[in-house]
Amino acid sequence: AQKITQTQPGMFVQEKEAVTLDCTYDTSDPSYGLFWYKQPSSGEMIFLIYQGSYDQQNATEGRYSLNFQKARKSANLVISASQLGDSAMYFCAMREVSYSGGYNKLIFGAGTRLAVHP
């Protein structure tokens, strides 16, 4: 069965430092996608970054980068130069892709709550 594991219920980091949020996944499908979402206290889910299973390079989006280690089945999120506004819940998610294109649900991890301290 497909599964996403986030082992860090909470993390804290000093402002301007980098932080890594862990995510491991389990799937038997060779084709899949990995997502990270941010959920601030206001509740909305904000898409951060995407990594496809066949992507050769690690994904980057501004201060966000994804450390994708396929053999280890890990997709850790790295936030560089943390800001106070980065304090939020962070969810790792996986989507399995069916060749018919009809299987698109996201499977989420339990989330990691990040606190950025000044």
> Residue numbers of the site for another protein (CB under 8 A)?
4, 33, 35, 37, 42-47, 50, 52, 91, 93, 95, 97-98, 101-111
- Residue 17 Cβ vs another protein, minimum distance, rounded to whole Å: 28
SS (H, E, C) 18-63: CEEECCEEECCCCCEEEEEEEECCCCCCEEEEEEECCCCCCCEECC
> Which residue number, 106 or 115, has a Cβ lying nearer to another protein?
106
> Which residue number, 105 or 117, has a Cβ lying nearer to another protein?
105
- Residue 15 Cβ vs another protein, minimum distance, rounded to whole Å: 27
- Residue 14 Cβ vs another protein, minimum distance, rounded to whole Å: 27
Closest CA to 92 of 40, 41, 48, 60: 48
> Which residue number, 57 or 118, has a Cβ lying nearer to another protein?
57
